[in-house]
Copies of this chain bind each other. A is one copy, B any other.
Amino acid sequence: MSMIAISPILDKQGNQPIYFQLYKYIRSQIEAGLLVEGVQLPAIRQLALHLGVSKNTIESAYQQLLSEGYIDSKQRGGYRVLPLEELVWPITEPDGTDNYMPATVTPKAPLSNVRYDFQYGDMDIERFPHEAWKSCLVDAVSRRSSDVLGYGHFQGDVELREEIARYVFESRGVHCKPEQIVVCAGTQHSVSMLCQILSLRERRIGMEEPGYSGVKTVLRNHGCSISPIKLEHDGIHVEGLYTEEVQVAYVTPSHQFPVGMVLPIHKRTRLLQWAIDCDGLLLEDDYDSEFRYYGQPVPALKALDTAEKVIYMGTLSKSFLPAARLSYLVLPSRLMASVQSKLASYSQPVSPIIQKAVTLFMKRGHFARHIRKMKRIYHGKHKAVTVAIQRWMGEFVEVIGDRSGLHLLLDVKGRDSAELLQLAERVDCRVYSPVHHWNNADDCPPGYIMIGFGGMEEAQLEDGIRRLSEAWFGCKS
């Protein structure tokens, strides 16, 4: 195990945060092959002393490298460089200022007499900027022009598409023009539109196993068959796409759903290489990438996609408001000529009033502020729930996929989810099994429980986890 010296030239008066300069330096060393697979990075304390910066700065830089899959931290206290696939395309350079934006969440079913509902998708109603949103909606509906009364442009309001183009570039490194964007009415509608305009029916679609059941339903109801591609500890087994001989794959690289891992950089480049090798198409669902609790968000797969093999799918359901029912596609420009006339034969399904209100909300800066705020708040909730799990459940459970997003999985060892759900109801808690996201229910580990934490307060999360622990393991506090 070799130790190396890291000696970047840091501009302490510059525009870019120090941690970001350090992260970029180390990343460039890795990409240039100067830091190779297996090399161990200096310990945090040691490098902080060496560079004359705080430990936090070093930790932030390492966390960013970690989230992006350049290094791992398997060994206690140490960070090691991971294998790097040859980068086939130049990576878009993020500009280093605080542009990467985080975001919000989403409700589903009302509670009955359940006190704590750990439902995935519930939103934080208290923290939502109701007044700002209301004023945007009022301003939108007060325009008496045909753009908020009629059917609207078939691809969506052009100003909204400009805002979305700006947002996906600044937050996710995705370069696109408004002409490539199609506004849709939620992720399932996005997928349905893709099936319709790309004639995906009767085709086999590669999909992570487990994977989002809502998308599987839509694909199957369009006559597609699903080829399940197994997950490894760090995400999709890319070789499975070759052996299954699919030409289209639906993937969740930023935060695998439901298991939760972030696809490392070397696997991202392999995915893109697969698409080039097999003339494949990647459908990237980037549903909650705004919320990462360590380092900055990982750039989207689409940001690396110079060969135009990726269709990017975004949604406002997690980052803003489920009730907007607004999602979007970013289509590769090479496809636009062939799909334009198909798109034009569809009416836009999202109300132009909602579209205009969201446009105003983005233009006035509310959206960016809201995401920044929610990133802090969800970070706090994430911490509260993981600390409570550690405190109350300790050795009884393993936590899976807890680095990002608004849910995590618990593996309650040796137990069965049906029993756990029932026991939870006795202490007025509701938890969920993720089993429907597996093609074959038997493949889902029996003790898996899905914990959504976006809709509850920190104290509720703490108390809820305590109650669950009591119900499941009989521990009294």
Interface size of A by CB at 8 A reads 60
Contacts of A326 in B (CB 8 A): 351
**Closest chain B residue to A354, Cβ basis:** B351
Question: Is residue A24 within 8 Å, beta carbon to beta carbon, of the partner chain?
Answer: no
The verdict on A146 contacting B107 (CB below 8 Å), with A137-B353, A151-B322 known, is yes
Q: Name the distance in Å between A345's Cβ and chain B's nearest Cβ.
A: 4
Which residues of the partner chain B approach A121 to less than 8 Å between Cβ atoms? 150-151
Is residue A123 contacting chain B, with contact meaning CB distance below 8 A? yes
Q: Answer yes or no: A148 CB below 8 A from chain B CBs.
A: yes
A413 contacts partner chain B, Cβ-Cβ < 8 Å: no
**Hey, which chain B residues are within 8 Å of A148, CB to CB?**
323
User: Is B354 a contact partner of A353 (Cβ separation < 8 A)?
Assistant: yes
Whether, in the assembled complex, A213 has its beta carbon less than 8 Å from a beta carbon of chain B, the answer is yes
What chain B residues lie within 8 Å of A196 (beta carbons)?
A: 192, 218, 221-222
A199 contacts which chain B residues (CB < 8 A)? 221
Smallest Cβ distance from A258 to chain B, in angstroms?
16
Q: Does A319 contact B (CB under 8 A)?
A: no
A317 at the interface (CB under 8 A from B): yes
Q: Are A323 and B150 in contact (CB under 8 A)?
A: yes
The interface residues of chain B lying within 8 Å CB-to-CB of A197 are: 221
Do A201 and B223 form a contact, CB below 8 Å, given A134-B138, A345-B217? yes
* Nearest CB on B from A453, distance (A): 16
Q: Tell me, in angstroms, the Cα distance from A199 to B220 when the chains sit together.
A: 10
Interface residues of A in 342-380 (CB under 8 A from B): 342, 345-354
Cβ-neighbour of A141 out of B106, B134, B142 (below 8 A): B134
Contact yes or no, B346 A217, CB < 8 A = yes
Does A188 contact B347, Cβ atoms closer than 8 Å?
Answer: yes
A25 proximal to B (CB < 8 A): no
Known contacts A141-B137, A186-B349, A349-B185; decide if A149 and B222 are in contact (CB<8 Å). no
A476 at the interface (CB under 8 A from B): no
Does A12 reach chain B (CB closer than 8 Å)? no
- Residue from the list B107, B185, B223 in contact with A150, Cβ < 8 A: B107
The interface residues of chain B lying within 8 Å CB-to-CB of A142 are 134
Known: A151-B317, A201-B223, A214-B345. A350 touches B325 (CB 8 A): yes
**8 A Cβ contacts from A125-170 to B:** 125, 128, 130, 133-134, 137-138, 141-142, 144, 146-152
A-side interface residues toward B, CB under 8 Å? Answer: 106-108, 110, 121-123, 125, 128, 130, 133-134, 137-138, 141-142, 144, 146-152, 185-189, 192, 196-197, 199, 201-202, 213-214, 217-218, 221-223, 317, 321-326, 342, 345-354
Instruction: With A125-B146, A151-B323 given, name 19 new contacts (CB 8 A).
Output: A106-B150, A110-B146, A122-B150, A123-B150, A125-B144, A128-B149, A137-B138, A149-B323, A152-B323, A192-B196, A196-B218, A197-B221, A202-B223, A214-B346, A218-B346, A323-B351, A323-B352, A325-B347, A326-B351
Can you list 28 A-B contacts with CB-CB less than 8 angstroms, sorted by A residue number?
Answer: A107-B149, A110-B147, A123-B149, A125-B144, A128-B149, A133-B141, A134-B142, A137-B138, A138-B138, A150-B323, A151-B317, A185-B349, A185-B350, A188-B346, A189-B349, A192-B196, A199-B221, A201-B222, A214-B347, A217-B342, A218-B346, A222-B222, A223-B223, A323-B352, A324-B351, A325-B349, A326-B351, A351-B354
